[in-house]
């Protein structure tokens, strides 16, 4: 979706300032939010792309005024309510008021380490040959979906070139709304800065993105 998280090319936000030696968590409550998000995601009630889509759905003023894990917390609460795993009264009370809703899986201490050590790979067998090859010129489609997408606004309608072919992976746009994994080929596509930003762009600058095949047309 065209949400507040898609800031490429937007003015007024200042330069990106990396924090030297940045810790994984800045406060104890952030650890708890991360743990809750992982535990609830493990139930299978929603998937990774659904979580991203929910975070993107926060109102722009709220999203931009929130820290990283505040965004995670607000999205998690919305998912729990939307999935019927808790009521608004329970969220307000901070405890269960009714018998728990059933879930497919529960993350327990004995399976935590081996499950997360194994990771959650999203590569899948392809359904057919790749449409594009290394070096092919492509154009990112002009699209404005109301649902989740991983195609940044600033490349839509712009010409780039395939720099890598990575194989097939779960397609986020359909997976987020539980319309199936629909594995799609994934490419690294490079765009000249001038193609994206015009003659004011950094001379010789380039931007690369990970682009799924349904986002691309032949140039």
Q: What pLDDT digit, counting tens, does each position of 7-18 carry?
A: 888 888 888 899
* Count of domains forming the chain: 2
134-166 residue pLDDT tens: 999 999 999 999 899 999 999 999 999 999 999
CATH number for the domain harbouring residue 43: 1.10.472.20
Structural domain ending residue among the three candidates 118, 149, 175: 118
Kindly report the pTM of this predicted structure: 0.91
Structural domain ending residue among the three candidates 61, 85, 118: 118
Same domain, 177 and 207: yes
Same domain, 91 and 149: no
Q: Is 198 left (phi over 0), alpha (psi -120 to 50) or beta?
A: left
Structural domain span for residue 44: 28-118
Question: Which tokens sit at 62?
Answer: 């709220």
**Pairwise CA distance, residues 125 & 181, whole Å:** 11
144 belongs to a structural domain:
yes
pLDDT at 218: 98
CA dihedral for 93, 66, 7, 123, sign (positive or negative): negative
CATH number for the domain harbouring residue 164: 2.30.30.50
Q: Residue 193, exposed/middle/buried by CB under 10 A (0-12, 13-18, 19+)?
A: middle
């Amino acid at each position: 979706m065209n949400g507040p998280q898609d800031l490429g090319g937007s003015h007024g936000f200042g330069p990106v300032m990396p924090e030297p030696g940045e810790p994984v968590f800045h406060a104890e409550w952030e650890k708890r939010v991360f743990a809750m998000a992982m535990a609830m995601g493990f139930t299978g009630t929603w998937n990774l792309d659904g979580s991203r889509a929910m975070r993107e759905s926060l109102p722009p003023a709220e999203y931009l005024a929130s820290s990283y894990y505040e965004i995670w917390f607000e999205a998690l609460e919305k998912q729990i309510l939307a999935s019927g795993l808790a009521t608004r009264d329970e969220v307000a009370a901070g405890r269960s008021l009714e018998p728990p809703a059933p879930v497919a899986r529960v993350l327990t201490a004995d399976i935590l380490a081996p499950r997360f050590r194994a990771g959650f790979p999203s590569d899948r067998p392809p359904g057919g040959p790749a449409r594009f090859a290394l070096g092919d010129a492509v154009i990112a489609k002009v699209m404005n979906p109301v649902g989740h997408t991983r195609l940044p606004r600033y490349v839509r309608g712009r010409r780039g070139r395939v720099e890598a072919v990575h194989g097939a992976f779960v397609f986020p746009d359909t997976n987020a709304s539980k319309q199936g994994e629909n594995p799609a080929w994934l490419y690294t596509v490079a765009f000249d800065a001038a193609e994206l930003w015009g003659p004011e762009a950094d001379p010789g600058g380039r931007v690369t993105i990970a682009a799924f095949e349904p986002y691309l047309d032949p140039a």
